[in-house]
């Protein structure tokens, strides 16, 4: 494959955009090389600026659950755009998508739309703090909730000490209010809660983690978290930015039969336009301005184009609920095919999967938290990534990201992907 035009576009971009990208992971920093510039996409395929075509397993990092340029979504956006692109006034479509989302997701009465997953999680934490009148929060190592200050925290010196900033610009003052716990380790979370009794406003978690590869909860971890939160009057926040409207119509809450107190959404709910949302029962949501004291706002929140895309997407998912089983079946097929190809070539690996999320870690040990994910062989992943790219398969350019399966993928595409894995794994 030739990447001449992408390379030249990247050089131009680097001169005017920091690192040439508007979101760091796109820069290929974790795998080396220079990024490929997308020109267009349709269904399961992305076309780059050099004319190469790839089977796409990023799907815009999740939103394109039905494939790229899904016609009902595109048509809805075009139609809406002709009526004006933003008003800064309430519109009927905001209520329409709110009603539909609430009907699909368990345990929520009201929803507020924002413009990104970051905003959704940041606002959910503020709401939890305002509602509980407590300041401290617990998050899990390896879970990502966007780039707001409270989440850019690394582990402190001991298991029960507060975190330290992991980006310059995040203050020590902010870091001291965020504790870092170990995913899938209820004893560790309990210890943190016990050591800070009466101070924790909320625990925020990706119910199926997708930002350290795909790591599902094990041993009823989510149910145990729910019980711990109930015992200590802590709000449980599910960050369903990846899992919402993907793992089931009602997301991870439905899949695992565990209710969260606040749920955050992004990606699928916007059909590929910039949308996030957070939702909860009335008593919590009514704490938000203008009804309540917790302030949260947005000039473009509930933007008509974004709402049109999101509504068309949710309507489709709601009317064809077989899609979730279909996606899980395709993911399982891919899992078994890739496993076989890697085994034949004696490549050590662990594949994790849940619904339409899947990832490969290049080690044999079980990957169940950040520590075990970080022990996998990143050099093998880099080779694998570039090998797959050469074979026309585009996976996330980092071992710490889940792949997203979309409904536009055919079994021929999956077979082609498995064949590519077989070819690439000969040289790993
Ligand atoms: C679980 C999770 N939460 C929040 C975010 C932040 O969303 P955004 O990038 O839209 O701000 C992401 C982004 O990938 C995410 O994966």
pLDDT digits (tens, 9 = 90+) for 268-282: 999 999 999 999 999
Tally of structural domains, the chain: 2
Atom 13 of ligand 1: nearest residue by CA position: 146
Distance, CA 117 to ligand 1 centroid (Å)? Answer: 5
Of the three residues 282, 301, 319, the one that is the final residue of a domain is 319
pLDDT above 80: residue 160: no
Tell me the H-state helices in 113-244.
117-132, 172-175, 186-195, 221-232
Is 345 found in the same domain as 205? no
Is 177 found in the same domain as 277? yes
Of the three residues 287, 319, 351, the one that is the final residue of a domain is 319
Q: Look up residue 36 and give its DSSP letter.
A: P
pLDDT above 50: residue 313: yes
* Domain range enclosing 85: 71-319
Pocket test for ligand 1, best of 266, 400, 401, 402 (most atoms within 8 A of CB): 266
Is 206 found in the same domain as 271? yes
Residue 275 in 3-state DSSP? coil
Is 404 found in the same domain as 326? yes
Distance, CA 376 to ligand 1 centroid (Å)? Answer: 23
Is 248 found in the same domain as 111? yes
Is 207 found in the same domain as 331? no
Find the radius of gyration of the CA atoms of the chain.
21
CATH number for the domain spanning 161: value is: 3.40.640.10
Distance between CA atoms of 206 and 63, rounded to whole angstroms? Answer: 16
For position 161, what pLDDT does the model report? Answer: 58
pTM for the model stands at 0.97
pLDDT above 80: residue 158: no
Is 156 found in the same domain as 54? no
Distance, CA 104 to ligand 1 centroid (Å)? Answer: 21
Query: What angle, rounded to 10 degrees, do the helices at 411-425 and 322-344 form?
Result: 20
Distance, CA 208 to ligand 1 centroid (Å)? Answer: 13
Is 334 found in the same domain as 279? no
Distance between CA atoms of 397 and 427, rounded to whole angstroms? Answer: 19
Distance, CA 351 to ligand 1 centroid (Å)? Answer: 22
Distance between CA atoms of 305 and 76, rounded to whole angstroms? Answer: 8
Is 106 found in the same domain as 57? no
For position 104, what pLDDT does the model report? Answer: 98
Distance between CA atoms of 245 and 101, rounded to whole angstroms? Answer: 9
Is 117 found in the same domain as 60? no
Could you tell me the two tokens for 417? Answer: 């992907």
Average pLDDT estimate for 174-186 = 95
Atom 1 of ligand 1: nearest residue by CA position: 241
Residue 332 φ/ψ, nearest 5 degrees: -65, -40
Of the three residues 319, 342, 373, the one that is the final residue of a domain is 319
Q: Which residues line the pocket of ligand 1, CB cutoff 6 A? A: 61, 116-118, 121, 144-146, 206, 210-211, 239, 241-242, 266, 276
CATH number for the domain spanning 401: value is: 3.90.1150.10
pLDDT above 80: residue 1: no
Residue 216 neighbours by CB under 8 Å, 6+ apart: 208, 209, 352, 353, 354
Is 332 found in the same domain as 279? no
* 116 CA closest ligand 1 atom index: 10
For position 156, what pLDDT does the model report? Answer: 61
The single residue listed with the structure tokens 């926040």 is 237
Q: pLDDT tens, 325-338? A: 999 999 999 999 99
User: Catalytic amino acids?
Assistant: 144, 239, 267
* 267 CA closest ligand 1 atom index: 10
For position 154, what pLDDT does the model report? Answer: 80
Is 213 found in the same domain as 93? yes
Distance between CA atoms of 124 and 260, rounded to whole angstroms? Answer: 12
* 61 CA closest ligand 1 atom index: 14
């Amino acid at each position: 494959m030739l990447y001449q035009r992408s390379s030249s576009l990247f050089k131009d971009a680097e001169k005017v955009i920091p690192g040439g990208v508007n979101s760091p992971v796109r820069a290929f920093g974790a795998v080396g090389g220079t990024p490929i510039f997308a020109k267009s996409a349709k269904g399961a395929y992305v076309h780059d600026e050099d004319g190469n075509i790839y089977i796409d397993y990023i799907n815009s990092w999740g939103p394109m659950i039905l494939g790229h340029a899904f016609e009902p979504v595109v048509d809805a956006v075009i139609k809406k755009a002709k009526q004006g692109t933003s008003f800064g006034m309430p519109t009927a479509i905001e209520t329409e998508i709110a009603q539909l989302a609430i009907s699909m997701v368990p345990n929520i009465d009201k929803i507020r739309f924002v413009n990104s997953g970051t905003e959704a999680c940041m606002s959910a934490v503020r709401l939890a703090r305002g509602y509980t009148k407590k300041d401290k929060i617990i998050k899990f190592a390896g879970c990502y909730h966007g780039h707001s200050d409270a989440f850019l925290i690394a582990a402190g010196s001991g298991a029960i000490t507060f975190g330290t900033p992991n980006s310059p610009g995040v203050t020590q003052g902010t870091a001291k209010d965020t504790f870092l716990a170990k995913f899938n380790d209820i004893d560790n979370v309990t210890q943190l809660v016990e050591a800070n009794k009466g101070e924790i406003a909320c625990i925020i978690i990706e119910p199926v983690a997708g930002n350290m590869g795909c790591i599902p909860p094990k041993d009823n971890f989510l149910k145990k978290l729910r019980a711990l939160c109930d015992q200590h009057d802590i709000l449980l926040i599910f960050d369903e930015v990846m899992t919402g409207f993907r793992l089931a119509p009602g997301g991870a809450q439905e899949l695992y039969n565990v209710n969260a107190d606040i749920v955050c959404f992004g990606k699928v709910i916007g059909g590929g336009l910039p949308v996030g949302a957070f939702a909860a029962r009335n008593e919590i949501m009514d704490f938000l301005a203008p009804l309540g004291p917790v302030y949260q706002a947005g000039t473009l929140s509930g933007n008509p184009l974004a709402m049109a895309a999101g509504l068309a997407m949710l309507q489709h998912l709601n009317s064809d609920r077989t899609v979730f089983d279909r996606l899980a079946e395709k993911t399982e097929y891919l899992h078994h095919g890739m496993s076989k190809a890697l085994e034949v070539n004696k490549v050590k690996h662990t594949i994790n999967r849940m619904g339409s999320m899947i990832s490969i870690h290049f080690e044999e040990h079980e990957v169940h938290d950040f520590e075990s994910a970080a022990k996998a062989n990143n050099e093998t992943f880099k080779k694998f990534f570039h090998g797959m790219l050469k074979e026309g398969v585009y996976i996330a350019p980092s071992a710490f990201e889940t792949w997203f399966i979309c409904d536009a993928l055919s079994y021929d595409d999956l077979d082609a992907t498995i064949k590519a894995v077989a070819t690439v794994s000969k040289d790993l």
